[in-house]
Chains A and B, each alone.
Chain A
Amino acid sequence: MALRSTTTKGSMGPLRRLGLVSQVIGTVLLGMIVVFLLNWLSGRPGLRLRLDLSADGSNTLDRATSDLLADLTETVTVDVFYRGEAPPLQAVAGEAMERVFRLLILAADEADGRLIVQHHDPADSTALQQRLTELKLTGFENCLVLSRGAGAERRVVLSLRGDLAEFDPGRPQAGAGFSPAAMIAYHGEEALVSGLMRVTQGSSVPIAFSAGHGERDIFGLDEPTDLGRLHTELVGDGFAVEKWRFEEDGPPRDELALLAVIAPQQPFSAPEAAALVKYVERGGRLLIAPRLDFDRGPGSVPDLVGNWGLAIDDELILRPWINAQGQMEDGRPECAQLGVRADGMSAGHPLTDALRRSERRVVMTFAHPLRSTPAQNRARALLVSGPYSWLDDGSSGTYDFIWQEANEVMGSRDLLLALELAAVPGALGASAIGDETRAGRVLLCSTPEAFANTWLEVNRDFCLGAFNWLTERETRIHLAPRTSVERRLAMGEGQDLKRLKRTVAWLLPGLCLITAILVGWRRRS
């Protein structure tokens, strides 16, 4: 009878096997759940412990950074666009980028999900282009883009060259003059922190563009001379841009952090001009640029800036054009396109220092020379044209772009004047900018084209820099400097390398092999 029961047991085989399989799967799943739970638990802030073993503390974020990341209330996306620099910077840029990556990993860890890092494959051009468009960027550069909000309403671009690090291309020539490319400075963490601050700043800074006098359209995206792209950049950078019309709005509001007057065609009316001057006198900030064919009547740009001892001349600043053959030419409109490089930028000013650091070029076209009247010589020239530029006398009504050696002298001319007025205690709305005493600032640019759509891609940093300097929005933070020790084996004679190789590649394995032989021999029976 017992034997019969065995046969029935046999038929339960598959069922039992199924039970066993499900038991095994259950065990594995349960184990994995426990592991995931453990991992999650170990990542909780209170339970997590980090010990930076590196000598230079390169794995520890500065206290200021940590605090900022811990206080993030909204999700910030960091888009990484990197496809390598061209030689000779290739290696050093890679090194800098590697540090940036590590910084981002650390920061993302610290931010606990509120900082999302997205790497973009430079080879996948469609996806790349799509993302760049989403971020309202044109053209590619090696950079980080910090953005907030679904449509990237606020975003900050941190360029690898300049914002994150500074490089010295060295001297590529082989021989005596050779010096390798090097990274002069790395300030990835500072840049990231300031970018984060900028992107997450709660309220936008209100600024206004004057309207109603034939100024450049701040929303226009189609015309090369319009300011639509500047507008996009400003909004992304955390500015609230509005238009200011005296007839409707009255005198500029106290809250306005900046008033921009870009190329008005008609003069300002007397009360209008008075309100404007008063605004600046009370600590307001003014960005102003004249048209190419500006007037000199009352209420015109020259007249307005004359209030602070600034003057605009009629001539046009030109420079020799270098054609495709490398020859210098004159007599053509391209001569009016001025590119200002580091040697034309004032040292020691926050605006130009940033540009110099990032090796930016600022393009100014059809620029009139600026002057400050000696009596009130407080203005500072931030950008000057190259030493081979001359002034084309337009008194005849037209510019001929030809250099007349006889009466046209070559020399640098001022392209951008910055003026800081004396501080007035408790003058203007503290709410917008945040300090009690404010000094008025005037930034006079020699041409409105510097802000126009055509050149914005090149001039973006300059434009944003100008607005940020005027509104004192340089969210500069100071982090403790890191000392980095150079650890290098002297390769000069190759003697050390040989010695290293002898120990590392021959002695160590050799010892192991000898052990093998010894062991095999000793234990042969």
Chain B
Amino acid sequence: MIDATDLTKCFGPLVAVNGLSFEIGRGEVVGLLGPNGAGKTTTLRMLTGYLPPSRGAVTIAGLDVLRSSLEVRRRIGYLPESVPLYGELRVGEMLEFHGQLHRMDRSRRRERSAFVLERVGLTERRTQRIDNLSKGLRQRVGLAVALLADPELLILDEPTSGLDPLQRMEVRDLIRELARERTVLVSSHILPEVEAVCDRVLILHRGRLAADGRPADLVRELGGTGHLSLTAELGPDTGQAAELLRKLPGVASLKVVDASQAANAGEEPINHPSLRSFELTGEGELAAVVGELARDRSWVIHQLAWQRATLEELFASIALDMNEALLDGMAPAVAPLAPLAPTAHTEPTAHTEPTTPTEPTAPTEPTTPTAPTTPTDPDAPGADS
């Protein structure tokens, strides 16, 4: 459906999108993810033909976006982030206008507008002026407009921004529903939203494509690992438990934790001679494997916590990684003391604090040469202005 090759957009000296290439097949629901300023909106604008790329090309449904611009525009339902609507018009009139722009005949306009209004739940607001609608309702009107011409491809730019949680959920449900029938490309900087809706994610950072794939695949491919903590009475296996666990398929790392350390916050410290705690990382269904082992060896499990790797985690790692790479290349003046090899600390950061992407600054591993990164870290998520 969408085929972008080497998409690049420069605004003067600023490179907003840099060498983006991807393909989106028919019927896919794809999330375009990235922090603010990552180039999401610019990418979408290039896809819709609003912005001509500085380099590269886009074809949509086999048509070049710039060359057969009108043909492409007819196939796209695009909802820009600002939800542009004529405030002085009524909801029905806005839809009528959009239908005319798309050269729909009168009966089809009437039929489709009734349908989409029903779909977004605005049927009884038909005669209300758009000016007087709330932000959430306007968003829905925008969706209705984008849907009106029954486009093959729906491109939604931050469809949930500025909405309260309830409205956000409504819109998310709506998108999920819409996704059943057509190709959808949604941009967002909010992770759970994309994870909830999309079967594929493109992660954009600083104008570059940082990752592309199914959320789960991504997690796996990019070294995203599950995290398991186990506290058990090991009985006779006390000595060899670590060895046994390490040999399990999929285990990437293992760490023995002091039982006293493991018994944390509020828990009564249990003094048992064979009680041990382990921290494991690895991929696959680690919890099941470990559980099976425990059953076989008759360990008494006090705690088995399994945490699957999340996109968010991945996202954070990418963000950090790219940030440093970028800073390395572009602005040596900001961090002159940070000539870090990008690969050197990917692992440790991901491993130490897997669930808190906002605080990747607490390196407990003495092996990690993290100290120089501190000056760059605070502006890591939003440094790209």
Contacts and interface: CB of A to CB of B under 8 A. Distances in A.
Direct contact of A and B (CB under 8 A): yes
B13 A13 contact: yes
Given A9-B10, A10-B12, A11-B13, A3 B330 contact: yes
Interface string B122-138: 00000011001000000
A523 B15 contact: no
Given A11-B13, A13-B12, A13-B13, A6 B330 contact: yes
Interface in A352-402: none
From B12, B14, B330, residue with most partner A Cβ within 10 Å? B12
B329 interface: yes
Contacts of B128: 525
Interface string B295-337: 0000000000000000000000000000000100110000000
B18 interface: yes
A2 B132 contact: no
A520 to B, nearest CB: 11
A16 B11 CA distance: 11
Given A2-B19, A4-B329, A523 B129 contact: yes
A484 interface: no
Nearest to A1: B329
A13 B10 CA distance: 10
A483 interface: no
**B interface, over-half SS:** mixed
A54 interface: no
A7 B330 contact: yes
A2 B132 CA distance: 48
From B15, B129, B132, residue with most partner A Cβ within 10 Å? B15
A6 B18 contact: yes
Interface in A1-26: 2-4, 6-7, 9-11, 13, 16-17
**A interface, over-half SS:** helix
Given A3-B326, A3-B329, A3-B330, A9 B15 contact: yes
Contact of B129 (A2, A11, A525): A525
A11 to B, nearest CB: 7
| Chain A interface size range | 10 to 19
A16 B19 CA distance: 21
A2 B18 contact: yes
A375 to B, nearest CB: 100
Nearest to B328: A3
Contacts of B129: 523, 525
A354 B129 CA distance: 77
Given A2-B19, A523-B129, A525-B129, A10 B13 contact: yes
Contacts of B14: 10
Interface string B18-45: 1100000000000000000000000000
A181 to B, nearest CB: 58
Contacts of B13: 6, 9-11, 13
A523 B88 CA distance: 8
Nearest to B128: A525
Contacts of B12: 10, 13, 16-17
A10 B14 CA distance: 7
B125 to A, nearest CB: 11
Contacts of A16: 12
B106 to A, nearest CB: 23
A10 B15 CA distance: 9
B36 to A, nearest CB: 20
A240 to B, nearest CB: 76
B286 to A, nearest CB: 37
A10 B331 CA distance: 14
A13 B15 CA distance: 12
A525 B19 contact: no
B75 to A, nearest CB: 31
A6 B330 CA distance: 9
Contacts of A11: 13
A367 to B, nearest CB: 88
Nearest to A523: B129
Nearest to B129: A525
A2 B88 CA distance: 47
B27 to A, nearest CB: 33
A75 B12 CA distance: 58
Interface in A113-162: none
Contacts of A2: 18-19
B259 to A, nearest CB: 48
Nearest to A12: B13
B328 to A, nearest CB: 9
A17 B11 CA distance: 11
A224 B40 CA distance: 97
B132 A525 contact: yes
Contacts of A9: 10, 13, 15
B15 A6 contact: yes
A12 B13 CA distance: 8
Interface in B89-128: 128
Contacts of A4: 329
A523 B127 CA distance: 10
Contacts of A6: 10, 13, 15, 18, 330
A9 B15 CA distance: 9
A523 to B, nearest CB: 7
Contacts of A13: 12-13
Nearest to A7: B330
A9 B13 CA distance: 6
From B10, B13, B19, B88, residue with most partner A Cβ within 10 Å? B13
Contacts of B10: 6, 9
A305 to B, nearest CB: 95
A10 B128 CA distance: 48
Nearest to B207: A6
B114 to A, nearest CB: 21
Interface of A: 2-4, 6-7, 9-11, 13, 16-17, 523, 525
Q: Which 7 A-B pairs have the closest CB atoms?
A: A10-B13, A3-B329, A6-B15, A13-B12, A13-B13, A3-B330, A525-B129
5 contacts: A6-B15, A10-B13, A17-B12, A523-B88, A525-B132
Given A6-B15, A9-B13, A16-B12, 18 more contacts: A2-B19, A3-B326, A3-B329, A3-B330, A4-B329, A6-B10, A6-B13, A6-B18, A9-B15, A10-B12, A10-B13, A13-B12, A13-B13, A523-B88, A523-B129, A525-B128, A525-B129, A525-B132
